[in-house]
């Protein structure tokens, strides 16, 4: 990754690198320490979580209209719709009634589903 950032210094010094690779924090630190490239590290959790939610409802992920607020492990899916229809009521019902879905992910602390890919098995809030 440092070699790519060095190439960017010569080829596109004003570009911003968006790093989606792991280990994200260590790579970003190395590139910031060793090069002059402006960069930020991002996580794939929004795409993964929204696809997982779509699959729970038996929809193809590309058929969902999704909006997210936040970044990395501090992001919430604030809109989850298909053909203009809010799917959150169905998701909340699924979380409340399907033990496998509940144990896989979400908990119900807020009215939105967060994007952290962490199992919270057996922990009700």
Tens of pLDDT, residues 55-74: 999 999 999 999 988 776 67
Number of domains in the chain: 2
User: Residues 35, 66: one domain?
Assistant: no
Q: In this structure, is residue 29 part of a structural domain?
A: yes
User: Residues 19, 62: one domain?
Assistant: no
How far is the C-alpha of 123 from the C-alpha of 67, rounded, in Å? 26
Q: In this structure, is residue 122 part of a structural domain?
A: no
Mean pLDDT within 88-108: 77
User: Residues 8, 22: one domain?
Assistant: yes
77-82's contacts with Cβ under 8 Å and 24+ in sequence apart are 77/46, 77/49, 77/50, 77/53, 77/112, 77/113, 77/114, 77/115, 78/112, 80/50, 80/53, 80/113
Residues catalogued as catalytic: 44
Q: In this structure, is residue 30 part of a structural domain?
A: yes
Tell me the percentage of the chain whose pLDDT exceeds 70: 79
Instruction: Please give the residue range of the domain that contains residue 8.
Output: 2-41
Q: In this structure, is residue 100 part of a structural domain?
A: yes
Whole-number mean pLDDT of the chain?
82
């Amino acid at each position: 990754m440092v070699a790519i950032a060095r190439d960017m210094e010569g080829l596109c010094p004003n570009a911003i690198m968006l790093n989606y690779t792991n280990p994200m924090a260590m790579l970003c630190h190395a590139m910031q320490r060793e090069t002059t490239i402006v960069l930020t590290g991002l996580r794939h959790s929004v795409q993964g979580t929204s696809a997982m939610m779509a699959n729970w409802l038996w929809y193809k992920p590309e058929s969902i209209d999704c909006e997210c607020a936040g970044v990395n492990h501090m992001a919430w899916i604030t809109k989850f719709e298909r053909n203009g229809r809010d799917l959150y009521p169905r998701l909340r019902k699924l979380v409340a009634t399907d033990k496998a879905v509940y144990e896989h992910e979400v908990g119900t602390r807020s009215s939105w589903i967060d994007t952290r890919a962490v199992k919270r098995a057996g922990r009700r809030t």
